[in-house]
Structure 1
Amino acid sequence: MASRPGFSLECSLPNGRNLSTSEVDAWELKAARRGLLNLKTLLQGQPMLDLLAKQIEEGDAYFKSLIAKSNGQFKESRVDFRAKGITSSQFLEWFRIVDAKETPEGIRRFYLDIMAPAHPEHYALGPYPIGIVETIGQHICRVRIDNVVEVPDFVREYGDSTYNKKLPVTCYLDDGTVFFYGFQEIRDTEDGCDFRIRIIFPAASPQILFDEHAEHLAIEFRSWIAAAFGSRHK
């Protein structure tokens, strides 16, 4: 099952079938997701926010230091997807349908059914109409997301004219300080659609912030795109 100098390990079932490392890894991942969702369900909402309050405060101070050092300069963290079997309109329709948070139960279900499973470090929605508490650059961050306010021209300059659907957002810290921008683009292809998912962070942020948030985007959007496809093929 695993090997290294001086060590080896094999695992098998009573019927004699050997289990591969990837099989046991998949079982571990399934169990980890189930255990994490259980904890998130028990702590959903204000209990989670209370638990993370000190870390959120520390994160705010850290992120403000990055903003100050950046002197208004930004740099992107980005991943691209090519999806088959689902169009851009079908994905956006799914996301509008699941984003139904008019009631406390709607908020709870949106978090537990959509946000919590999409990434292990989606901790809570936060006290805003649109927002999330998650890990960014190894620090806990509570951001308020505004998808109505116009983003600066330099954000749109990251765009690709071949992508016809553009979803820009501005993301703020608790006190209203602009922390980063999101600029997602989608275009249809012959057999599906392409996604270009980017977050534009203060340029003085350490490289690990850009690298790990690319990992974050890859995990969460893979989950959402797959869920949108799955909702059409139940």
Structure 2
Amino acid sequence: MNIYIDGKSITNDQLTQWKRKRVKKVFNILGYKSAEINDPDSMIDKLTNLKMESSYQEMYNKLESKLKLSKTVMRMGAFLSGSRRKFSQTEIHLDGITAEEAIKGIDTLMLNSSDKNNRVNLSACPDHYALRPLGENELEVIETTGNSPLPVQFFIVFNDETGLQTPRDDAYAYQSAGVARLKDGTVIGGVRHQMKDTKTGIKVKLSVEFPAMSPTILIKSHQMHLACEFSYWLQWIKGQKNNNGRASLD
């Protein structure tokens, strides 16, 4: 797997250092003490176990005051930004999997509710608190975007591209695209993640749209968030294919 941000290759060490910082932050947000972190992946496993022990409502209650504040900030940012957007973009190349397998696996993780999928989604990035399918094409997300001091709650409606500004690239046969809204319906951005086959695997273009008033440092940090979660998801999907002879579509 190769990961690129702004055309530059991201090393495993860079991603590990980013994970280490975020794991410590999330332990603190949830009120847990974290041991000295030598292996952030091991600490993410421990963090995931703690998250899995909490119901959705218990997790929401822990974060409620922070979510209310971030909702106010995001609503104001969206209002002041109007239709203007900033873009957080990351590119991933991975061998040994097809674009169709990858997109089906991602869609399954996003929209099919199961304990297994929940564990995978919480493990994909330390900043994930809840990824909860709602209906046929909607996903509730509670996460910290970039290096924001606060987690945020939003809802992505997939296959709704209203207002998306990231252009559709016809060279990419598959995509996962949707608009992101707050609970009151305020549009705060969206996603357009595109995938295509290469000779040996896939090429993935990831793009998240934020209100233009969002700090650039948040946008830059969210590029690493994308690298973290999608590298995990894609490797997991590839692993399921290798174990079962095809990508798992539970």
Normalising by the residue count of structure 2, what TM-score does the alignment of the two structures yield? 0.74
Aligned to 2:152: 141
Asked whether the 8 Å contact 2:124–2:232 carries over to 1, the reply is yes
Structure 1 residue 52, shift from structure 2 partner: 0.6
* 2:176 counterpart SS class: strand
* 1:233 counterpart SS class: helix
Q: Distance in 2 between matches of 1:233 and 1:49?
A: 36
Asked whether the 8 Å contact 1:126–1:142 carries over to 2, the reply is no
Q: Distance in 2 between matches of 1:33 and 1:212?
A: 18
Counterparts of 1:56-67 in structure 2 under 5 Å? 56-67=67-78
Q: What's the CA shift string for 1:35-56, capped at 9, x where partnerless?
A: 2022111113110011111111
Aligned to 2:129: 123
Q: What's the CA shift string for 1:45-103, capped at 9, x where partnerless?
A: 110011111111011011112112213211211000111111101112323444422xx
Aligned to 1:187: 196
Aligned to 2:165: 155
Aligned length: 202
* 1:57 counterpart SS class: helix
Normalising by the residue count of structure 1, what TM-score does the alignment of the two structures yield? 0.79
Asked whether the 8 Å contact 1:172–1:180 carries over to 2, the reply is yes
- The letter of the residue matching 2:127 is E
**RMSD, aligned CA:** 2.0
The percent of aligned pairs where both chains have the same amino acid is 24
Q: 1:220 aligns with which of 218, 229, 232?
A: 229
- The letter of the residue matching 2:122 is A
Asked whether the 8 Å contact 1:44–1:124 carries over to 2, the reply is no
Aligned to 1:14: none
* 2:194 counterpart SS class: strand
- The letter of the residue matching 2:196 is R
Q: Distance in 1 between matches of 2:80 and 2:236?
A: 39
Aligned to 1:83: 94
* 1:43 counterpart SS class: coil
- The letter of the residue matching 1:115 is N
Change (3 A) 1:31 1:215: same
* Structure 1 residues without counterparts, runs of 5 or longer: 1-24
Aligned to 2:246: none
Matched, 1:178 2:190: no
Structure 1 residue 163, shift from structure 2 partner: 1.7
Larger radius of gyration: 1
Aligned to 2:174: 165
- Worse overlay, 26-35 or 142-151: 26-35
Aligned to 1:100: 112
